[in-house]
Amino acid sequence: EEFGDLVAALPRRQQSILELRLYQGFWLPEHWVPGTVVFQRRFSPRPDDVVLASYPKCGTTWLKALAFAAAARGAYPPAAPGHPLRRLNPHDCVPFIDEIFAGGEEAKLDALPSPRLMNTHLPYTLLPDRVTNAGGCRVVYVCRDPKDMVVSLWHFLRRAKPDLSFVETFESVCDGTVAAGPVWDHVLSYWRPSVARPDRVLFLKYEDLLRDTAANVRRLAEFMGRPFTAAEEAAGDVAAVVELCSFDEMKGLDVNKAGSGTAGRYCAMQRDAFFRKGVAGDWANHMTPEMAARLDGIIREKLQGTGLDFAQGS
Ligand code: A3P
């Protein structure tokens, strides 16, 4: 209620199932705004916190699993049969900051032991200054070819609105009026600090994760301050993390099957919705060549001169 006036004053657009509000340059679902404001005002990071950030449908679930498995490997060896990721969805292992603040559940974050792992869908520019300033914490971002993001998003939204057309979803991504959009501004908001301060912001690509998961697990562990030791390498721990978090492993878990319940209050979607196909290039099955060229053209123009290119691996 405290935020009613603030929200009402923001520009508004309807996009498929969501009411969007333009907040600090990004279209946020209306129900994200109060939690975002509270997060900005009150979140106090610890120096060893790691915030996992992503645009929705770009590999959030996978990044959460990989980072959790890499970070928690002291307590839970990745090959151990009792590993939490063999019975829990990654969203139940790494809290979603945006949801925590929207629900007034900050005590849950305070109670987490260090080093804490959390995730957000907010762009870098909307993160609290206390996260992004010199004394803040580390941030890992995962991006994905926007063409595959659109396809993934459409399948996801269609679960709530079965008659949603692919074209409508595509058009809303192209004009930026989509949750946490425009996507190019979201990606660039993380790309720039990752170039300026690579020790603080690690920028990953979903396609690179697919191509060489092990190399990226090593990068992730090193960035989080816990590089794999020679003994861990020799024991095959990197490969064990890769296997534990693989698409087939995770999709096959009972907890991730249809009817197993929702992934959270904030996103009342069944957990199986986070495991669809898990590949790169599925856009070719949904878009005409003209649509693909149009979205590629928009992205190319927006990214021009930034050094970031979706067409190339890093
Ligand atoms: P698709 O819909 O293209 O299959 P998010 O987690 O950000 O919501 O992203 C979901 C996308 O990541 C979905 O893409 C999903 O299938 C894919 N995904 C989930 N877990 C994965 C894994 N372990 N490996 C590869 N892709 C995964």
Out of 31, 83, 91, 121, the active site residue is 121
Output the pLDDT for position 264: 65
Instruction: Decide: 56 in ligand 1 pocket, CB within 6 A.
Output: yes
- Closest C-alpha residue for ligand 1 atom 2: 152
Give CA angle at 247 (289, 120), nearest 5°: 80
Output the pLDDT for position 194: 97
pTM over the 0.90 mark: yes
For the chain, what is the radius of gyration of the CA atoms?
19
Complex-level ipTM: 0.99
pLDDT along the chain (314 residues), means of 10: 89 90 97 94 95 98 98 94 94 92 91 95 97 94 98 93 94 96 98 97 98 98 97 97 97 84 68 92 97 97 93 52
β-bridge mates for residue 23, sequence order: 26
Instruction: Decide: 245 in ligand 1 pocket, CB within 6 A.
Output: yes
C-alpha–C-alpha distance, residues 271 and 91, integer Å: 9
Distances, alpha carbon 226 to alpha carbons 34, 51, 117, 203, in Å: 35, 15, 13, 17
Instruction: Decide: 178 in ligand 1 pocket, CB within 6 A.
Output: no
Q: Which atom of ligand 1 is nearest to the CA of 275?
A: 16
- Ligand 1 centroid to 234 CA: how many Å? 29
CA diameter of the chain: 58
Instruction: Decide: 251 in ligand 1 pocket, CB within 6 A.
Output: no
Distances, alpha carbon 262 to alpha carbons 23, 77, 91, 237, 277, in Å: 27, 27, 10, 31, 19
C-alpha–C-alpha distance, residues 54 and 118, integer Å: 12
